Amino acid sequence: MIVEHQVPLQPHNSFGIVARARELLRVRSEDDLRALLAEPGRAADPKFVLGGGSNIVLTGDVKALVLKVEIPGMRVVEDGPRAVIVEAGAGVNWHAFVTWTLDQNLPGLENLALIPGSVGAAPVQNVGAYGVELQDRFESLDAMHLATGQVFTLNAAQCAFGYRDSVFKHVPAKEGDFGLAGQALILRVRFRLPKPWQPELSYLDLQRKAVETGIAEPSARQIYDWVCAIRRAKLPDPAVIGNAGSFFKNPTVTQDQCADIIAREPNIVHYPMPDGTVKLAAGWLIDACGWKGKSVGQAGVYEKQALVLVNRGGATGGEVVTLARAIQTSVYERFGIRLEPEPVVV
């Protein structure tokens, strides 16, 4: 167990923002973490858990001890008549895991292909794309409590998944309160891949692919290829242009609020939700305010998807945050809707 000092974080955040960790520990196993917590004073030290770094905006050097999760491993836990349970270490790259499941002929995660980040970070914000959310395939996870070193298991209900939300995003106000933000490190995640496999093709972009290619009954591998192609066409590759995916959540409004907005903005992109609320496309709202292609310093709004903020080269976290606030203000002034950021500002 080696704690490194003054570690550059630019390679470890998908925005590519320059910052350092005062101290950083690469966590490859539970034992690394136990050894750290056994050192005098370490249990009480402030800590910051870093997964794939694809959902953070660094606004300066990180003073807390950075726990860089690098726990490996992928395996089939159980192959039952109604589902296969697969498990991956929290440090495994998400897309590599999705690809591995398909290589093993275990379909079910194909709609979630190419989402940047790690397996351990995926439940934190309940990643979702093209009609599937992580919670639809989630079985359970193991995590370690950072103050005590105790390992515990959570099922889906205990994770309290919501749209881009889970118990890991909530900061407990006092001890015993709901929320595990900053309190726990996810070690391993298990997924339930139901049998028989059913394709999920409800998302419009996938239906378009089916029509374009004339393939009405695609295989899981075909859907995986379509999802990769759709993402590559509209989302910037973080290896080329720094970004953190969608910067804002899609807001939900009541039917009355939506009717009000439609009366003023007939073209607004909106989706009725099963619970009676209406989800609005944040990308459309930002686009309608004329932000596509605009910049603050080196932070910009991606030309092909207004929901994605990008690093045009050397952007600071401050520039990203300033741009995000300016977007929030103009969307609020025009539509009366407050956009909520998706990434965590550190």
Active-site residue flag, 164: yes
Does residue 218 belong to the site contacting ligand EPU (CB under 6 A)? Answer: no
Give the binding-site size for ligand EPU (rule: CB under 6 A): 18
301-to-54, 289, 305 alpha-carbon distances in Å: 17, 12, 8
Q: Which residues, including other chains, have CB under 8 Å from residue 272's CB and lie 6 or more apart? A: 255, 278
The answer to whether 301 and 294 are in contact (CB under 8 A) is yes
Can residue 130 be called a binding residue for ligand EPU (CB under 6 A)? yes
C-alpha distances out from residue 31 to 7, 144, 187, Å = 22, 11, 11
Query: 134, 186, 307, 327: which one contacts ligand EPU (CB under 6 A)?
Result: 307
Q: Which of 13, 135, 183, 246 contacts ligand EPU by CB under 6 A?
A: 246
Q: Which of residues 271-290 bind ligand EPU (CB under 6 A)?
A: 281, 283-284, 287
* 330 classed as catalytic: no
Q: From the candidates 164, 190, 192, 231, give the one annotated as an active-site residue.
A: 164
Q: Which residue is nearest to ligand EPU (CB)?
A: 245
What is the three-class DSSP state of 101?
helix
With CB under 6 A as the contact rule, the residue among 250, 289, 299, 339 that binds ligand EPU is 250
Of the candidate spans 2-10, 149-157, 212-220, 304-312, the one that interacts with ligand EPU by CB under 6 A turns out to be 304-312
Q: Nearest distance from residue 326's CB to ligand EPU, in Å?
A: 16
Residue 146 is classified by DSSP as T
Closer to ligand EPU by Cβ: residue 9 or 288: 288
Minimum distance from CB of 305 to ligand EPU (Å)?
Answer: 5
Is 130:205 a contact under the CB 8 Å cutoff? yes
246 has catalytic annotation: yes
**Strand ranges (DSSP E) for the chain?**
3-8, 20-27, 47-50, 56-57, 65-69, 74-79, 83-89, 128-129, 132-133, 138-145, 151-155, 184-194, 242-246, 252-253, 270-272, 278-280, 295-296, 299-301, 308-311, 344-345
Among 306, 315, 323, 327, binds ligand EPU (CB under 6 A): 306
Determine, following the binding rule CB under 6 A, whether residue 243 of this chain makes contact with ligand EPU: no
Can you give the binding site for ligand EPU, defined by CB under 6 A? 129-130, 234-235, 245-246, 249-250, 269, 281, 283-284, 287, 292, 305-307, 342
Active site amino acids:
164, 246, 342
